[in-house]
Amino acid sequence: MDKHELKNDMDRWNGKSAEEVLVESFHELKDPIYVMTGYLNVLNDTTVSADQLKPMITSLLGYALHSKYIVDSVYHYLAVQRGDK
């Protein structure tokens, strides 16, 4: 996560309580989690070819990285609000 992305989140959440930030972030995490769960269920329940597998893994990685960014940005925001360094 770069400084520009962190500043955007700080601006986005400016003036919001920790609870508001968490509620909003949890809402944003729901979609990626549901999509990743769906892909993993397909992979678990069916046989897929290598050609089918590659785009699924690419999508899973994208959703995982997006989710990681959300978690990292919330953690940073709340740490700053607490005065952690």
- What is the spatial distance between Cα 82 and Cα 18, in angstroms, rounded to a whole number? 10
- Residue 11 confidence (pLDDT): 77
Domain boundaries, the chain: 3-82
- Residue 65 confidence (pLDDT): 93
- What is the spatial distance between Cα 82 and Cα 68, in angstroms, rounded to a whole number? 21
Q: Nearest to residue 59, comparing CAs of 25, 34, 36?
A: 36
Assigned CATH topology for domain 3-82: Helix Hairpins (1.10.287)
- Residue 83 confidence (pLDDT): 83
**Residues of the chain predicted below pLDDT 50:** none
- Residue 5 confidence (pLDDT): 66
- What is the spatial distance between Cα 56 and Cα 7, in angstroms, rounded to a whole number? 32
- Residue 81 confidence (pLDDT): 84
